[in-house]
Amino acid sequence: MTHTLSDNREHRFCVAPMMQWTDRHCRVFHRQLTRHARLYTEMVTTSAIRHGDRDRLLAFDPVEHPVALQVGGCDPADMAMAACAAADYGYAEININVGCPSDRVQNGAFGACLMAEPARVADCVSAMRAAAPLPVTVKTRIGIDHQDDYAFLHAFATQVANAGCETLIVHARKAWLSGLSPKANREVPSLDYERVYRLKRDFPALRVVLNGGIETLDQARQALTRVDGVMIGRAAYQRPWLLAGVDRQMFGQADEPITRHDAIRALLPYVEHAMHDGAQLKHITRHLLGLFHGCPGGRRWRRMLSEQAHRPGAGIEILLAALAEVPEQSTAEVA
Cis peptide before 189 (omega within 30 of 0): yes
Number of Cα atoms under 13 Å in the Cβ half of residue 240 = 24
- Strand ranges inside the chain, DSSP E: 13-15, 38-40, 44-45, 67-72, 93-98, 136-141, 167-171, 207-211, 229-232
Beta strands 93-98 and 136-141, pairing class:
parallel
Q: Mark whether 100 is an active-site residue.
A: yes
Q: Helix or strand or coil: residue 91? A: coil
The conformational region for residue 39 under phi > 0 = left, psi -120 to 50 = alpha, else beta, is beta
Residue set of the binding site:
17-19, 70, 139, 171, 211-213, 233-234
Binding residues for FMN: 17-19, 70, 139, 171, 211-213, 233-234
255 DSSP 8-state letter: P
Mode of pairing for the β-strands spanning 67-72 and 93-98? parallel
Per the residue annotation, which of 100, 113, 124, 165 is the catalytic one? 100
> Residue 284's closest CA among 303, 296, 263, 268?
268
Contact 169, 131 (CB under 8 A): no
Contact 259, 294 (CB under 8 A): no
Residues identified as active-site? 100
